[in-house]
Amino acid sequence: MRESIDLFHGSGAKKSHALIRDIFFSAFQNPYLEEGADGVVLATSTRPPVLATDAFVVHPLFFPGGDLGKLAVCGPLNDLAAMGARAHYLTATFILEEGLEIATLKKVVASMAQEARAAGVAIVAGDTKVVEKNKGDQIYISVTAMGYLETSCAPHPRRLRPGQKIILTGALGDHGATVLATRKDLAFQGNLNSDCANLQPLILPLLNAFPNIACMRDLTRGGLTGILHELILESCECGIGFKIIEEKIPVSKAVHGLCELLGLDPMTLANEGNMIIFCDGLTAAEVVPFLRQHPLGKDSCCIGEVTSRAGQLELQTLYGGERLVMWQEGDALPRIC
């Protein structure tokens, strides 16, 4: 009979202690966890600290190119990268459903540990709770990342200005399309792979080489159009809008085929290893070839520019016309991350 999580694992008693020691401590082992205290004292830096928090409820737990554990590490690391910060520490909270197979939990935790080690970050604190069967869905994870600013001027939406160029580091929708195809067991899912990746090795050297980059954001829920509308809202005092050129927006054949089949727009699908970057035109001409030297940025390209048409997201279509792109009321693909 396969071992599974029961309510005693969340009771705070002996069984809870065994779960934490046997699964989490053994996978995440580091001197901070070995202290066994209620909190952790971290090394300080002369640089400003930067925090990012994210929660992950992706369904299914495993998909081509990634899984819940990998996603839970890469997501907050990319948030820090977009702020110009190098990650050093993670904390993680696990909400487990009664009946979850312990083998499944171990597989997710092992993936988290592997991704954290590869990124050079330590998972230094955490918590575990168990909810009754049918009160959750296997595993939910909440992660906080802490790092230190690597640049003298952090990228920020308030630094957006008309005339700046818009750069993508990869093709649209790979993660969202892959999770959807896996969830629905669509026949051609073998051609799809999530782009889930830690972008710090791509982005931090970029900021070191080009410290005048104005703004960055990792493309997750809401996709390209959702993120651009968010940035319009967050930079409202700057009075800017965006114009993107459909012909220049990279979309893989597999993602395009899924969107055609299901009537989806690739510009609304999530990525988990794609950054959108804003900088002046002269810098952009150097940034794109710089990014293309790295495997994570090989498909980088310029797709449009910041405009002075406040609040408007414009699309130049394949046929040469222009139209406004509205912000969706909701996400058609829940639990993508």
| Residue 281 confidence (pLDDT) above 70 | yes
CATH superfamily of 7-149: PurM-like, N-terminal domain (3.30.1330.10)
Q: b/e per residue, 293-305, with b = 16+ CB within 10 A? A: ebebbeebbbbbb
CA dist 54 and 74 (Å) reads: 10
Q: Which of 289, 336, 271 is nearest to 60 (CA)?
A: 336
* pLDDT-based confidence at residue 181 (cuts at 50, 70, 90): very high
Report the pLDDT value the prediction gives residue 190, as an integer from 0 to 100: 58
CATH superfamily of 157-324: PurM-like C-terminal domain (3.90.650.10)
Percent of the chain residues past pLDDT 90, beyond the cut: 87
Q: Which of 207, 83, 205 is nearest to 154 (CA)?
A: 83
Given strand 122-131, what is the order of strands in its sheet?
49-56, 139-149, 85-97, 122-131
Single pTM value for the model: 0.95
The stretch 190-197 carries a mean pLDDT of 90
Q: Where in the chain is the domain with CATH 3.30.1330.10?
A: 7-149
324 three-class SS: strand
The tens digit of pLDDT for each residue in 56-84 reads 999 999 999 999 999 999 999 999 999 99
166 three-class SS: strand
CA dist 247 and 258 (Å) reads: 19
The tens digit of pLDDT for each residue in 113-126 reads 999 999 999 999 99
* Cβ neighbour number for residue 48 with a 10 Å cutoff: 10
| Residue 199 confidence (pLDDT) above 90 | yes
Phi-psi map region of 36: left, alpha, beta (phi>0 left; psi -120 to 50 alpha):
left
Report the pLDDT value the prediction gives residue 187, as an integer from 0 to 100: 72
CA dist 242 and 239 (Å) reads: 11
| Residue 36 confidence (pLDDT) above 90 | no
The stretch 222-249 carries a mean pLDDT of 94
Which residues pair with residue 66 across a beta bridge? 63
Q: Where in the chain is the domain with CATH 3.90.650.10?
A: 157-324
Q: b/e per residue, 4-14, with b = 16+ CB within 10 A? A: bbeeebbeeee
Report the pLDDT value the prediction gives residue 69, as an integer from 0 to 100: 99
The stretch 143-160 carries a mean pLDDT of 95
CA dist 251 and 170 (Å) reads: 9
The stretch 258-277 carries a mean pLDDT of 96
* pLDDT-based confidence at residue 43 (cuts at 50, 70, 90): confident
Contact status, residue 253 vs residue 177, Cβ threshold 8 Å: no
| Residue 189 confidence (pLDDT) above 60 | no
The stretch 220-239 carries a mean pLDDT of 92
